[in-house]
Structure 1
């Protein structure tokens, strides 16, 4: 008996060490369409709006626009914050609004125009945010500008900009003036394509007022914006953590107010609401010396947010934008002060992104809601050390592996089709329990249009521990042509990975021009092998693929 138990323990250890069993099968049925391959991934954002027109900011915006077949939307905080072009971490300023000695408004759109001009020149569309409170309007302005740095308590960022206005009419005049200015500068047809919202995470320290005061501010904001441009798209409330009871209460109070509450600005019933927003974050931690992600925490926020929206009959068909949708909460917290953020530079961030976005599709299908966008709160940080561990898409102009997942998504279009496997987790299992234990999540998402098929595969686990590769038998059926042109793209330690190349260089703090050129090349999405022609057999195709832990593959078939 002891020998049997010993053998079982040995087998269990081998199973945990090497990942899956030897038979991982994934079947793709092109004949079974399950929904649109909506490009809701094409949304990004940052706390620091002024980085957009810096050197590396402009470079990255251009890359985001160039990779995407649809317009990329960009969300930023601090668009109304006072100050002259200041650019600390988790800060930014435009100085749009000041007052003269008699309290009369002075508007200056110079810096704000510079930000939005940079977006539009690169084909980026704004998700324009009415925030934060200008110093001259704040009910508690001092101290105003914060000087937060990684390692400091997070609540140090919540200063005078987070308070309600001392004069709601002056705030409404500011909103009206900005929207009118935008229409005059960029044209009505262009501005109608933007999304406009009020504030950020008003259920925590970003808003020092009550939920009722937020609803009041929303009423004045939406009324002024609609007076300036009746066709403007206005939404909110950008609460975070819908699975928290108090956050859920805030979201429901706001939605109920928009449906049936008395409008503070007009006196009528209800408030205009064109789309609904909330945030969802994961929760990584250090376990036994390695990073352990928690995708389930993020998915529970999304699930509860969808459930709440779907419970309102008059709102359930409105577009939903997950205003921040990330593995955890602080993009500007590096991995030196927050060791659990060590996932950000390598392939863990890539595989997490692939696996979590696929579950966003599944959750939207499950609740039958209209998911329009999922904002990755990840951009870039100017004048910071290489691969410092920020949650960003690029470091000093060098693309990180995670950006290549979005390049993969950009190659997928048309209809999503059925994918079934024997080593995957259902979306409910990931939501409820995350991806733990000896079994990894080896799964995929697939799309088809008239002349192409794309299959994204990942080998994900919450624990960032190296194991053996997964041997995958991939079966596709439903092709209507005999010959296919195959491009196989890969993200792993050897492909599409500037971080591993940088480490092999000795992790230089100041790379040479030659090293930078090599890193820029390594940061691009690369092919695992040369393009090849493959033959189908009665509309079917079978392939054998080896995929490392935390690796992501995209197989693109064209004809």
Structure 2
């Protein structure tokens, strides 16, 4: 037995051992490459294209010049149909586009209160998707002015810097007549079937509202549940094989959000239906939102991926607690580094991650972990919607959370181009690297960098996406990386290497090198458009796999992302 006089020595020895272990690990990274070991023989499940989902607040941008251009590019980066979700599809108005606002005038009433349905703008939006092989995640909302229980004020004129709560006006209230709202939904679904065909509309996902646990819904939880019953019944009456879901709550890790989500799921399982009087309500998929939380620390933007992953995991945990619902598809209806796409960098300095490579490396690292969290909970993750599109006629690189600026792609869009080249089965990446989903969920990335990978294997190809991410937006020195593939089924393989960093696939750095022009010339725009595309890091190379092993060594800058594509 040791006396208390030895405690300081024992404590010092323990601290010294911890320090030596940390130094040893840091030195191994500094003196030798980080090994990324991929085993193509160990499959983890289907590589679902959970990334092929996008959304935005402003529906009328859909068919504008830069909106159509970006939608074309998004549709072309994926071999599977991309789903698109947008707000405001039932909002009353003239179709004028503005920040955090959009309208279609789908429903009005005459002097006698008789409904007038006008699908002109809704069709224009959905036609834009369908023409490109995309599919709507058709959001049923928000409340038409003629149906709102508190319609005035209705149209808002929010701009960056205003109080965010100013956006919640008459469109956010429950209907004064649930049957009329249900009939509007019925007519919309029936019209969609007539215009696009039963088989096409069966492939869509219909959902009710957006974030009803915060200001987007000015009713109670029970009033949302009632509206869901009326909506689901109307959708199924119009097309029994249509898919309907909800509740699109945000922040499942918040107590109030978890309570709302559980109340909704309790109702669809065992509650009394407001329309039929029977037990339960139709539910074909489950939705919720998850966001990160960046801030500025000592003048540096510091991300918080852990906050987003905790939201995701809590949502998965809640779904998994319902045996009858556990296998339903889950769509994370908005899945982003933070919560306000239209809040600009100039007024919100924590959003300075958006133009450069931090957004792209965050996206790569976070999407890979969504698969891990779903596997751990045993749930069926179908999609994760990136809430980022484009903002028409805004200053170049103003710092909105968008995929392109004035028709020029930002680095983040190239991560999705990389994902578009990955399919087949997910395969094992070694588990002894600095972070996995569980550690990242608990700690985020505040110590050593997250150098890791996501890998897939198809019939005649394999792909490995490697990132060098850190929560702190500092361009630290690059790290040597050694990607080692085991189980390559051919001797001779063709290797393509693509890169996003300061010098590759980065229109923002090129724009800054031009002097950050707000009125670039046609020649400059052409240069920026080219810089915004995904670029090769090296020329395609034929290599020999020895005994099924292939090794590629390279340096990966901080906040950089590489895609190694191997085909045989």
Tell me the TM-score range normalised by the shorter chain: over 0.9
2:116 matched residue in structure 1: 106
**Other structure's SS at 1:344 match:** coil
1:145 maps onto 2:155 in alignment = yes
Q: Deviations over 1:32-73 (max 9, x none)?
A: 111111101000000001101000000111111111010000
Decide which of 554, 557, 561 is 1:548's aligned counterpart: 557
8 Å contact kept, 1:423–1:440: no
1:433 matched residue in structure 2: 443
- Give, in angstroms, the shift of residue 22 of structure 1: 3.4
2-structure distance, mates of 1:279, 1:18: 39
2-structure distance, mates of 1:323, 1:277: 6
- Give, in angstroms, the shift of residue 20 of structure 1: 5.3
1:378 maps onto 2:388 in alignment = yes
1-structure distance, mates of 2:110, 2:26: 68
1:168 matched residue in structure 2: 178
Q: Deviations over 1:354-412 (max 9, x none)?
A: 00000001001111111111000001111101101000000010000000000000000
Q: Deviations over 1:445-472 (max 9, x none)?
A: 1111110010000000000112111111
8 Å contact kept, 1:285–1:340: yes
Q: Deviations over 1:6-32 (max 9, x none)?
A: xx99x9999999985634111111111
1:218 matched residue in structure 2: 228
1:509 matched residue in structure 2: 518
1:346 matched residue in structure 2: 356
1-structure distance, mates of 2:31, 2:528: 36
Decide which of 451, 476, 482 is 1:467's aligned counterpart: 476
2-structure distance, mates of 1:14, 1:543: 24
2:303 matched residue in structure 1: 293
- Give, in angstroms, the shift of residue 475 of structure 1: 1.3
What are the within-5 Å matches in structure 2 for residues 165-204 of structure 1? 165-204=175-214
1:372/1:81 CA distance change after superposition, 3 Å: same
1:519 matched residue in structure 2: 528
1:303 maps onto 2:310 in alignment = no
Q: Deviations over 1:428-460 (max 9, x none)?
A: 0101110112x0000001111110010000000
1:15/1:339 CA distance change after superposition, 3 Å: farther
1:481 maps onto 2:521 in alignment = no
What are the within-5 Å matches in structure 2 for residues 77-476 of structure 1? 77-420=87-430, 422-437=432-447, 439-476=448-485
Query: Structure 1 residue runs of 4+, over 2 Å off?
Result: 11-23, 421-424
Q: Deviations over 1:491-519 (max 9, x none)?
A: 00000000000000000001110000000
1:21/1:248 CA distance change after superposition, 3 Å: farther
1-structure distance, mates of 2:42, 2:423: 15
1:363/1:14 CA distance change after superposition, 3 Å: closer
**Other structure's SS at 1:444 match:** strand
2-structure distance, mates of 1:477, 1:103: 69
Q: Deviations over 1:148-173 (max 9, x none)?
A: 11111110000000000000011011
Q: Give ranges in structure 2 of 5+ residues lacking alignment.
A: 1-14
Tell me how many residue pairs correspond in the alignment: 553
Deviates more, 1:539-548 or 1:337-346: 539-548
2-structure distance, mates of 1:47, 1:139: 23
2-structure distance, mates of 1:180, 1:322: 27
2-structure distance, mates of 1:12, 1:212: 53
1-structure distance, mates of 2:71, 2:374: 28
CA-based RMSD of the aligned residues comes to 1.9
2-structure distance, mates of 1:14, 1:338: 39
2-structure distance, mates of 1:423, 1:398: 36
- Give, in angstroms, the shift of residue 107 of structure 1: 0.7
8 Å contact kept, 1:353–1:402: yes
**Other structure's SS at 1:343 match:** coil
**Other structure's SS at 1:283 match:** coil
TM-score of the two chains, using structure 1 as the length reference: 0.97
1:58 maps onto 2:68 in alignment = yes
1-structure distance, mates of 2:43, 2:464: 14
**Other structure's SS at 2:153 match:** coil
8 Å contact kept, 1:19–1:440: no
1:19/1:52 CA distance change after superposition, 3 Å: farther
2-structure distance, mates of 1:422, 1:179: 50
